[in-house]
Amino acid sequence: MNKLGIRIAEKRKLMGMAQIEFAEKMHVTRQTVSRWEAGTAMPDVDKIVEIADILGVSCDYLLKNGTPENSTARTKGVGKLLQNIRGKTVQLVFFDEEADVDLFNRPCRISDYEGNWMRVIANTKKGKIEKLIPVSSVLSIEIVKEEN
């Protein structure tokens, strides 16, 4: 079992939740949850936020070694910047090797952040998208005027 799987299983069990109940809340099969917990499969990145919400823990707790459940990273360093621009329209510039095609040269909104992750919403040709992206993939953030 990997660290992520161990943490999911531990928290789920502490909450008295069966795999099938957790799977229903996640809109996946019980077998999928079993594979996550056994470490034979990993949840998609956007599922990590949902897992954290259901289990009442942070994404950092699930993904990082030795991170306390209720990390104070939200109010330190980059967290202060993200707190001040949450909800504003911004343009993100990514490190070249980590460019995000859906968000490249496109205004978006940072809807939330936690630790080293931020949730971004943008309107694309495909429609409205919501993505969870690592803060470390962002080279710079520029606040832009919203188009009316």
Concatenating the DSSP letter of every residue in 83-94 gives HHHTTSEEEEEE
Q: Does 148 reside within a domain?
A: no
**What is the rounded CA–CA span in Å between residue 118 and residue 144?**
18
Closest by Cα among 68, 62, 58, 56 to 25: 56
Domain span holding position 126: 75-143
Q: 89 with 145: CB under 8 angstroms?
A: yes
The verdict on 56 and 23 lying in the same domain is yes
pLDDT at position 23 is 95
In the chain, the number of structural domains is: 2
Q: What is the pTM of this model?
A: 0.49
Amino acid at 5: G
pLDDT values of the chain reduced to their tens digit, one per residue, 148 residues: 478 899 999 999 988 899 999 999 999 999 999 999 998 988 887 788 889 888 888 888 888 755 444 444 444 566 777 777 888 889 888 876 556 777 888 899 988 887 778 889 998 888 899 888 888 788 888 888 766 5
